[in-house]
Amino acid sequence: MARYSKADHVEWSSGLCDCFEDSNTCCYGFWCCPCLACTVSGRFQENRCLPLCDIITPAILTACGIPLFVPPAVFGLRAAMRNRYKIKGNLCRDICASCFCAWCSWCQMHRELRQRDKTPTIINVTNVVNMQPAPVMMMRPAPMVNQTVNHREETPNQRYKVWLESEAVEV
């Protein structure tokens, strides 16, 4: 079993507040954060409507008398992205980023996915041999002709007589 090592983990490709590194993402997140959230969710191969939970959840929880909450979609995707790409961090930081900087968090995840799309994936393929077994043909055993049931020894004269009788019947 492989041992878990945090030495293999990397940092986010950009910081949480590095919105101006990519002005397109910054504007997209500022002017239409729900659209950016749905785009990030789709690029991460999750349901594009998942971020709508962050919009609906506050109203439902406030109606139930719970004014504080952690946005489930941004928190869940952020933790999943850290896990999939082995990015350094912990759940406490994910909660803080999700609660207090949700827009910045969506922008950071969008930049991370764009950076990962640019990085080429190297696949090392070794010689793969796909051999199928040789076809097997099933044959019936050949029918036995002129076998005697008794187990005593036959002389050549007796065999000759049996042969003559079989030839006489065929003619």
Per-position DSSP letters for 23-83, written without gaps between them: HHHHHHHHH-HHHHHHHHHHHTTS-TTTTHHHHHHHHHHHHTT------HHHHHHHHHHHH
Tokens representing 152? Answer: 């005593």
Q: Tell me, what DSSP letter sits at residue 17?
A: T
**CA-to-CA distance for 71 and 128, rounded, in angstroms?**
47
**CA-to-CA distance for 143 and 17, rounded, in angstroms?**
88
CB 91 within 8 A of CB 9: no
**CA-to-CA distance for 54 and 41, rounded, in angstroms?**
12
**CA-to-CA distance for 91 and 76, rounded, in angstroms?**
10
Tokens representing 73? Answer: 């979609």
The 3-class secondary structure across 96-107, one letter per residue, is HHHHHCHHHHHH
**CA-to-CA distance for 15 and 11, rounded, in angstroms?**
9
**Does the predicted TM-score (pTM) go above 0.85?**
no
Q: What is the pLDDT of residues 51-105, one digit of tens each?
A: 888 878 777 877 887 776 778 889 999 999 999 999 999 999 999 998 888 889 9
Q: What is the pLDDT of residues 126-170, one digit of tens each?
A: 766 666 777 777 667 666 666 555 556 677 777 777 777 777 655
Res 1: pLDDT: 46
**CA-to-CA distance for 82 and 151, rounded, in angstroms?**
83
Measured between its terminal Cα atoms, the distance across the chain in Å is 80
